[in-house]
Amino acid sequence: MKHTLIEQAQQVLRRNDRGTYTVPTHGLYPFQWNWDSALSALGFAHFDEARAWTEIDTLFAHQWEDGMVPHIIFHERDEGYFPGPDVWATGRTVPTSGITQPPVAGFAVRRMFEAAIDKNLATERAKALLPRIHAWHKWFSRSRDPQGSGLVAILHPWESGRDNSVDWDVALARVPTEGVEPFTRLDTHHANPAHRPTQSQYERYIWLVQNFRSLGWDSTRLHDASPFRVVDPGFNAILIRSCADLAELADQLDEPEIARQSREFAARGIAAMERLWSDVHGQYLCLDRTTGELIDSPSIGGLLAVFAAVPADKAAAIARRIDRLGDVAKFLVPSHDPSAAEFDALRYWRGPVWLIVNYMIADGLRHAGQHATVERIVGDSVQLIKRSGFAEYYSPVTAEPCGGVHFTWTAAMVLEFLAQPGAMA
Ligand code: GLC
């Protein structure tokens, strides 16, 4: 069984391979997505190391001059996706979107470097990527933390990677809809509309895009001009972890200055993260930077915080909280608390399980020594695949597969999970 799953996962990756980048899935997402690529590279690394490095090289070949790495790269024209390059209008030769996504590349590149069989290739590719990833991290600090708080804000729900999480509801409601140019959604042609964001959310997503476009995508202006500015613990944990991992990698590649700066970013971030802790929920919460208030929404973002080296008592509390969620949800980890009124088992990021988040939470908990919870998360993830295939996401109640099918990063995570000792007989 394990063997068959590995073969199937490799087939999904091959099927979505476009030579130098992979699409998340055919149809629904026909271009290159930022954090999909970084995580998918981990899957390729199990059977084709050169192809894995190319995935990340291609992503960084489209990095902007200011250091930003865009969330979508529109390598080819495809009329089946909205909003396409004409809506973003970022003026790039190969069109890209103008916002970013969770910066998981620092983590992925260290992992690929240390696991590499071909050390020469790994050294050459990692050395070239190191300053580019560092430039992206510095961009975050400058453009998304202009007051130097130690934590960065996202300016669009799509930047979080958790597009329609309950976490954004209040802040997104403040985004106007007047002046939104008429549009036709195409996502609902590819996937069940009941699994996707609502129309009202979509109008606000597009308003933000239009607003940033009117500012010429100048990242020195976007932060203060955006009505949506949220500090997401999950997003920050990914950045902090990537900075810490980049520091380790820089030590190994003899780049002491990158190592020093990256360590400093990570240390400041970890210290600042404590501002987001909620004793009531036993997890971290988002902070609305426009009001200065914590957002009372117990989502998976605050559990993903454990991907960074948070204090041991906080990691233990997160493990306990996940264990309790496991008492109510059949499959861990639901993207929203099933006992909350807003929970929706099938709708995108408002309840379903996503294997990429499971993977990062399990990795963080393993570092924190929370092995029993890790075992349950890994076991549930493999169960979901066995029952429902390589879906985009799954119901935590019934394991029903949702969203797109033959999903690249889901397949990549399966290869990662199954490579762990004792994952499955
Ligand atoms: C959805 C997800 C996002 C992902 C993209 C491509 O928009 O919310 O996290 O990057 O699909 O898979």
pLDDT in tens, 343-373: 999 999 999 999 999 999 999 999 999 999 9
CA of 35 to the centre of ligand 1 (A): 8
Q: Is 161 in the pocket of ligand 1 (CB under 6 A)?
A: yes
Higher-scoring residue by pLDDT: 195, 361: 361
CA of 34 to the centre of ligand 1 (A): 9
Give dist(CA 320, CA 277) in Å, integer.
15
Higher-scoring residue by pLDDT: 191, 106: 106
In this structure, what are the phi and psi dihedrals at residue 401, rounded to the nearest 5 degrees?
A: -75, 135
Torsion of the alpha carbons at 106, 110, 111 and 112, rounded to the nearest 10: 100
pLDDT at 315 over 80: yes
Local confidence band at 187 (pLDDT 50, 70, 90 cut-offs) = confident
Q: Is 29 in the pocket of ligand 1 (CB under 6 A)?
A: yes
pLDDT at 381 (0 to 100): 97
Give dist(CA 98, CA 402) in Å, integer.
28
Q: Is 163 in the pocket of ligand 1 (CB under 6 A)?
A: yes
16, 26, 31, 103, 179 from 404: Cα distances, Å? 13, 8, 14, 23, 31
pLDDT at 93 over 50: yes
pLDDT at 50 over 70: yes
pTM of the model: 0.98
The closest residue, in CA terms, to atom 4 on ligand 1 is 161
The closest residue, in CA terms, to atom 9 on ligand 1 is 161
pLDDT at 266 (0 to 100): 98
pLDDT at 195 (0 to 100): 86
Residue length of the chain: 425
In the 3-class helix/strand/coil scheme, how is 132-156 assigned residue by residue? HHHHHHHHHHHHHCCCCCCCCCECC
- The distance of Cα 122 from the centroid of its chain, to the nearest Å, equals 24
Q: Is 24 in the pocket of ligand 1 (CB under 6 A)?
A: yes
pLDDT at 80 over 80: yes
Map out the domains of the chain as residue ranges.
Answer: 2-418
pLDDT at 425 over 60: no
pLDDT at 424 (0 to 100): 62
Separation of first and last alpha carbons in the chain: 8
Compute the average pLDDT of residues 39-44: 98
Q: Is 67 in the pocket of ligand 1 (CB under 6 A)?
A: no
Looking at 232, 255, 337, 392, which residue is catalytic?
A: 392
On whether the CB atoms of residues 72 and 85 are closer than 8 A, the answer is: no
Q: How many helices (H) and strands (E) does the chain have?
A: 18, 9
CA of 257 to the centre of ligand 1 (A): 34
CA of 33 to the centre of ligand 1 (A): 7
57 is known as an active-site residue = no
Looking at 163, 248, 342, 400, which residue is catalytic?
A: 163
163 is known as an active-site residue = yes
**Chain-wide mean pLDDT for the chain?**
96
Local confidence band at 422 (pLDDT 50, 70, 90 cut-offs) = low
Q: Which atom of ligand 1 is nearest to the CA of 24?
A: 12
CA of 160 to the centre of ligand 1 (A): 9
CATH architecture of 2-418: Alpha/alpha barrel (1.50)
Q: Is 205 in the pocket of ligand 1 (CB under 6 A)?
A: no
